[in-house]
Amino acid sequence: MDVWADPATERVLTPATIITFIRTIACIVLVGLAINEGVPEDGEFWSPALKLLTIALVVYWAGDSLDGQVARRMHHETRIGAVLDIMSDRMCSAAFYFGLAWLHPEFTVAVLLYLAEFMVIDCFLSIAFLAWKIRSPNYFWVVDPTIYKLNWSHPAKAVNSALFAVMLLVTQAWWLGVIVAGALLIFKIAMLIRLFATVGLPIPGGTGLATTSEQASGA
């Protein structure tokens, strides 16, 4: 298994990143179509708009799984692709959850808690791999096995990405959403504390401005 990034293979367009772009655009278009449906007047939960939003969510999840599989199977894993995937996940997630809160305002507090966790704390954790020469968060086990297992193993990814949405759509209980989102936020903060306390964030070599003496000597 090739854990370490190779600068010679880094590029923006690969089969995996093309899938990332397509699934992100498809998700956003579907969310736009859902919002265009308008808020249901009869109070129906599973309105046409919410059904479109759910399809957008499925497209996001399926595409996220597919681009990762393609990258690994075709040996096209790049740090550029990993960052694009992380950013695209946040775009898709924000679009879905803001749409959900617009259709069902009772979910607003739960959605804002979840997005604080996913778009800020979890995003920082996800891009922290850039401080090492690994290809993506999927190889963070070489840095800290515990952080990897609790954040980027397959079960951990499923809990962080799917549990909250599925729970809201199935139970329709805003208060349960607040509990789950709050628990995820506390957990991710704990992971961030562990990262700083036990691992830290090294500064990659070869970066930074030259000192005045180095500039004067032409070093």
Tens digit of each residue's pLDDT (9 = 90 or more) over 159-218: 888 999 999 999 999 999 999 999 999 999 999 999 999 988 888 665 555 544 444 444
Partnered with residue 4 across adjacent β-strands are: 134
Q: With contact defined as beta carbons under 8 Å apart, do 20 and 84 qualify? A: yes
Which of these three, 103, 121, 142, is where a domain ends?
A: 103
Q: Hey, which residues does 134 pair with through a beta bridge?
A: 4
Q: Which domain holds residue 82?
A: 8-103
Please check whether residues 99 and 123 belong to one and the same domain: no
Q: 123 and 91, same structural domain?
A: no
The dihedrals phi and psi of 4, each to the nearest 5 degrees, come to: -90, 140
Q: What is the pLDDT of residue 215?
A: 43
d(CA 59, CA 26): 7
For residues 97 and 148, membership in a common domain is answered with no
pLDDT for position 214? 44
Answer whether residue 206 is part of any domain.
no
pLDDT score of 43 more than 90: no
Amino acid at 155: P
Rounded to whole angstroms, how far apart are CA atoms 93 and 23? 12
Say yes or no to pLDDT of 84 above 60: yes
Q: What is the pTM of this model?
A: 0.89
Q: Are residues 95 and 120 in the same domain?
A: no
Domain tally for the chain? 2
Both 81 and 31 in one domain: the answer is: yes
Tell me which of 80, 103, 126 is where a domain ends.
103
Are residues 132 and 196 located together in one domain of the fold? yes
Query: Has residue 138 been placed in a domain?
Result: yes
Same domain, residue pair 119 and 155: yes
Q: Looking at the domain assignment, is residue 213 inside a domain?
A: no
